[in-house]
Amino acid sequence: MRKRIPTLSEHQVTPEGQYLSRRTLISGALATGVSLLSGTSDATSPTGTPLRATRNSTLSVSVPANSWDDITSYNNYYEFGTDKADPAANAGKLITHPWTVTIGGEADITGPIALEDLLKPHALEERIYRLRCVEAWSMVVPWVGIPLADVLKRFKPTSKAKFVRFTTLNDPAQMPGVRSRVLSWPYTEGLRMDEAMHPLSLLAVGLYGRTLPNQNGAPLRLVVPWKYGFKSIKAIVRIDFVERLPRSSWMNANPTEYGFYANVNPSVDHPRWSQASERHIGGGLFAARQPTLPFNGYAEQVADLYRGMDLKAQF
Ligand code: MTE
C-alpha cells in the first residue's frame, strides 16, 4: 500500500493503534443495531492516513453509513471519466501533496495558502451525512472535515462578497477526462454566502477516519448535504468571494437541467426523470426505493435560507 504524505498538522493525525480502536468505536456507534456494512461485504480495508477527529453527533444522521467500498468505488468525477468505476480506476496517481488553495476576490486577505496552513487552526470533526445524487441514488458517508464558515471567515470577506465560487484543479496531464468536452473545465461550483456560512457546509479532508481517497476528491472537497451531490466539488484549488452569482460547470453544460441552487427537492423533477424517490446504494438489488426528503432530510436546519423563494423557478 502506498503511504500518503499527510498534508495535515500533527494534532489532526491519529497514531495507527489509536485509530484502530477508535474505528471499532465508530462502527459500534454508527451501526445502532444494524450492520455498518449495510448488507455488502467490506472487501477493501480503508486506506489513507488516519485522522484525529471528534464526532459531531448533533450534525450527524443516526442511520448506518455505507461501506468503504460503496463510497470509494461508485463515484462521479468527470475529470477521470464518466463511468462510475472510472474515478477509482484512474484517479489513483493524482498528486495531492503539496497542495495550494488560492483565495481571491472580495476579501481583505487573498492569495495562495498551503493546504496545511488552511487546515492548521481547525480541529477536525467527523460528520455522518446523507448524500443524494441528482441521478436519484443516495448514500450515507462518514466525512471528516472542518466547517466551511470557519475557513471563509479567516479571509475577512467584504460586504461585496455575495457568493463563493470554488474551482477544481484542471490538469490534462493528470486528469484524462478534461480532454473530453463533456463539461466546461475547470469544474466550478458556487454557493450563496449564507449557504456557505451555514454550519452544515463542510470542507472535507477525509472519510472513515482517514484522508480522502483521490476518487472522493482528495485532498479537499466541499460537502453540502441538503443539495444534490454535484455541488460537492472535489480537488479544490481556488476559492473566490464574488459579487455576482457564479455559473457552475453543470449550469454551463445544461442550464435547463441543472440550476444554481440544486437543493434536493422531491417535488421538482429533473426534466428527464423524477426526483420523488431514490435508490440507496448498498441496499441490494431488490431493495425498495426510498422517498426523497425535502432538502435531503435537512429541512429543519436549512429551509429558512429559502423563505419566500419559488423553488420551482430557482431550482
Ligand atoms: N467534482 C469534480 N471536480 N468533478 C466532478 O465530476 N462530480 C460531482 C461531485 N463533485 C464532480 C465533482 C457529482 S455529479 C457528484 S454526485 C459528487 O461529486 C459525487 O461524490 P462522490 O464520488 O464522493 O460520491
Tell me, what CATH number does 219's domain have? 3.90.420.10
How far apart CA 102 and CA 20 sit, in angstroms, is 35
Note the pLDDT of residue 284.
85
How many separate domains does the chain show? 1
**Cβ neighbours of 133 (radius 10 Å):** 18
User: Would you give the DSSP letter of residue 11?
Assistant: G
Q: Is 76 in the pocket of ligand 1 (CB under 6 A)?
A: yes
Atom 3 (ligand 1): residue with closest C-alpha? Answer: 234
| Closest C-alpha to 230, from 253, 213, 207, 209 | 253
Q: What is the residue with the minimal CA distance to atom 13 of ligand 1?
A: 230
State how far the Cα of 16 lies from the Cα of 13, in Å rounded to an integer.
9
Answer whether residue 313 is part of any domain: no
> Is 1 a domain residue?
no
Q: Is 201 in the pocket of ligand 1 (CB under 6 A)?
A: no
φ/ψ of residue 250, rounded to 5? -70, -35
Q: What residues contact residue 42 under an 8 Å CB cut-off, 6+ apart?
A: 36, 67, 68, 69
Torsion-angle region of 153 (φ positive above 0: left; ψ -120 to 50: alpha; else: beta)? alpha
**For position 7, what pLDDT does the model report?**
59
Q: Which atom of ligand 1 is nearest to the CA of 215?
A: 22
- Using alpha carbons only, what angle is made at residue 267 by residues 221 and 276, rounded to the nearest 5 degrees? 75
Cβ of 75 below 6 Å from ligand 1: yes
Would you write out the chain's pLDDT as a tens digit for each of its 315 residues?
A: 344 444 566 677 765 545 444 443 444 334 333 333 344 444 688 999 999 999 999 999 999 999 999 999 999 999 999 999 999 999 999 999 999 999 999 999 999 999 999 999 999 999 999 999 999 999 999 999 999 999 999 999 999 999 999 999 999 999 999 999 999 999 999 999 999 999 999 999 999 999 999 999 999 999 999 999 999 999 999 999 999 999 999 999 999 999 999 999 999 999 999 999 999 999 888 889 999 999 999 999 999 999 999 999 999
249 lines ligand 1 (CB under 6 A): no
Please indicate whether residue 237, judged by its CB atom, sits closer than 6 Å to ligand 1: no
Q: How far is the CA of 78 from the centre of ligand 1 (A)?
A: 8
Contacts 24+ apart (CB under 8 A), 269-277: 270/134, 273/136, 274/136, 275/134, 275/136, 277/136
Strand 202-207 versus strand 210-211 pairing type: antiparallel
Of how many residues is the chain composed? Answer: 315
229 C-beta closer than 6 A to ligand 1 = yes
| 129 CB within 6 A, ligand 1 | no
Residues spanned by the domain of 153: 9-306
| Nearest partner of 117 among 109, 105, 106, judged by Cα | 109
φ, ψ for residue 149, nearest 5 deg? -55, -40
Sorted by sequence, the CB contacts under 8 Å of residue 249 that are 6+ apart come out as 183, 184, 185, 186, 187, 188, 189
Nearest CA to ligand 1 atom 6: 77
Ligand 1 pocket member 234 (CB < 6 A): yes
Nearest to 30 by CA among 2, 68, 4: 68
Domain-embedded: residue 166 = yes
* Candidate from 144, 234, 238, 281 with most ligand 1 atoms within 8 A of CB, to mutate: 234
Alpha carbon distance 21, 275 (integer Å): 40
Determine the pLDDT at residue 18: 52
Q: How far is CA 223 from CA 104, 122, 169, 178, 267, in A?
A: 21, 17, 17, 22, 23
Ligand 1 nearest atom to the CA of residue 187, by list position: 3
- What separation in Å is there between the alpha carbon of 232 and the centre of ligand 1? 6
Is 3 contained in some domain? Answer: no
Is the CB of 246 within 6 Å of ligand 1?
Answer: no
State the alpha helices, DSSP H only, in the chain. Answer: 16-31, 68-73, 86-90, 115-119, 148-154, 193-196, 249-253, 299-302
Atom 10 of ligand 1, nearest CA residue:
233
**CB-count burial class (<10 Å; 0-12, 13-18, 19+) for 115:** buried
